[in-house]
Amino acid sequence: MALTTHTGTQLIPLLDEKARAKAIEIYESIPGTFLKYLEQKEIVKKVNFRRDFTANQICMGTEHNIDFNDFIKCLRDSIKVGFTSSNVTEVYPENLGDDITKEFRKQATTRAKRGNKLSTIIRFNTEYEKKGAPYWTRVNAYVYINIIEECEDNWFAANKYKFSYDLTIELNGISINSNKAIKLNELIAKNNVANSIKEIKSRCP
């Protein structure tokens, strides 16, 4: 049976794969009770912050490039600081940093020359899922980031690239109580759909 709401399509993938077929039937039968039992909440959030960092340069003969291992580490760390100050808990900084780096490497194929700056604008939509106590979350994310790359005009800093960025992330999704979700997985595994519905109703009058 196909899900009829956006909430359902976001929620069901959070459950165990073996429980999903039954969960869809249960949700379609008692959507309100199902969501109430899981303590489902809507997530709508938009944040913007600016950060900067430096990353090492690597040289191969006369060619210079970014040490992307250092770049991604520094980017993740700066996003983590931004998320903490902006109260973003629904996305792992590591995951967002990896996705941004992947797009940056695709688009920014040339390096800033000494004393110059390059701007790269990146936009993408993706989904993020996070499972931890006390909530499991699943969100659709629109990401916009403008990365400014600068190769310092300083012989003492010739092995460094400077980066500054302006990041906006818009989140739309849901959260559910992690303890309730675990118990629901166990309930569905032990019962058929009809008995699962009865049990959920009894636990959520």
Domain boundaries, the chain: 6-41+179-203, 43-175
DSSP 133: S
- Where the chain has pLDDT below 50, the residues are 1-2, 4, 157
**Phi/psi at 169 (5° precision):** -135, 130
User: pTM of the prediction?
Assistant: 0.86
Pairing of strands 63-66, 135-151: unpaired
* Cα–Cα dist 176/162, whole Å: 40
pLDDT of res. 81:
96
Collect all residues with Cβ–Cβ distance below 8 Å to 131 and sequence separation of at least 6. Answer: 14, 178
**Angle, CA 185 vertex, CA 184 and CA 186 arms, to 5°:** 90
